[in-house]
Amino acid sequence: MNTTRRTVLKGATASGVLAGLIAAGALRPTLVLAADWNKAAFEAKDTAGALKGIGATAASESKDLMLKVPDIAENGAVVPVDVVSNIPNTSSISILVEKNPQPLCAQFDFANGAVADVSARLKMGQTSLVKAVAKADGKFYTAQKEVKVTVGGCGG
């Protein structure tokens, strides 16, 4: 464990250095830019509606879009999700949890040349498919995997 790095980063977060990086344009979370807020997509109550909202009704499965999620969530309140897109010119990545009341959880837009590699912690109330959608050159690509949320106990 790198305790020093952990301490430094805790300090960095507190003093707003990371926020500075975001403002500098290296990463543009949609939430930071109120103008980009896709209300219809984020407030959609089902996956079809959310996909429609981001314009991804005809997404094709891609092996170059890597979605890393646990098979079983250790804690449904904070499920770690990593998405990496190796599709050239990826301009956005969206993450959806099908069975959440509002499936679209996050959308990341990338400025030219940014590496499409994002991580998030999502809240999941029940077992569900988790879906990543990437946009590149106007086309949509998708990858999905089931994450089980269980009450726990009884093992071993």
Partner 1 sequence: MSSMNRREFLQILAAASAAGFALDARWVWAAGKGESLYELKKFGNVHLLHFTDCHAQLLPIHFREPSVNIGIGGASGKAPHLVGEHLLKAFGIKPGGIEAHAFTYLNFEKAAKTYGKVGGFAHLATLVKRLRAERPGALLLDGGDTWQGSATALWSKGQDMVDACKLLGVDMMSAHWEFTLGDKRVQEIVEKDLKGRIEFLAQNIKTSDFGDKVFEPYSLREMNGVKVAVIGQAFPYTPIANPRWMMPEWTFGIQDENMQKTVDEARAKGAQVVVLLSHNGMDVDLKMATRVTGIDAIMGGHTHDGVPRPVIVKNAGGQTLVTNAGSNGKFLGVLDFDVKNGKVSDFRYKLLPVFSNLLPADAEMAAYIEKVRAPHKAKLEEKLAVSEGLLYRRGNFNGSWDQLILDAIMEVQGADIGFSPGFRWGTTILPGQAITFEHLMDQTAITYPSATLTEMNGEQIKSILEDVGDNLFNPDPYYQQGGDMVRVGGLQYTCDPNAKIGNRIQDMRLAGKPLDAARKYKVAGWAPVAEGAQGEPVWDVVARYLRDKKTITPRKLNQPKLLGMKGNAGLAG
Among 75, 115, 123, 125, binds partner 1 (CB under 8 A): 75
The verdict on 14 binding partner 1 (CB under 8 A) reads: no
Burial of 70 (0-12, 13-18, 19+ CB in 10 A): middle
The verdict on 4 binding partner 1 (CB under 8 A) reads: no
CA 102 from centroid of its chain's CA atoms: 14
Candidates 13-21, 33-41, 45-53, 74-82: pick the segment binding partner 1 (CB under 8 A). Answer: 74-82
List the structure tokens of 82: 């990593």
Least distance CB 19 / partner 1 (angstroms)? 19
Which one, 25 or 153, has the nearer CB to partner 1? 153
Count Cβ neighbours within 10 Å for each residue of 13-34 and write b for 16 or more, e otherwise. eeeeeeeeeeeeeebbebeeee
How many angstroms separate the CA atoms of 42 and 36, rounded?
Answer: 12
The verdict on 88 binding partner 1 (CB under 8 A) reads: no
The verdict on 13 binding partner 1 (CB under 8 A) reads: no
How many angstroms separate the CA atoms of 88 and 124, rounded?
Answer: 31
Least distance CB 111 / partner 1 (angstroms)? 26
Among 49, 70, 89, 102, binds partner 1 (CB under 8 A): 70
Please give the size of the binding site for partner 1, defined by CB under 8 A: 23
Among 14, 24, 34, 154, binds partner 1 (CB under 8 A): 154
The verdict on 148 binding partner 1 (CB under 8 A) reads: yes
What is the contact surface with partner 1 in residues (CB under 8 A)?
A: 1-2, 5-6, 9, 68, 70-75, 80, 127, 146, 148, 150-156
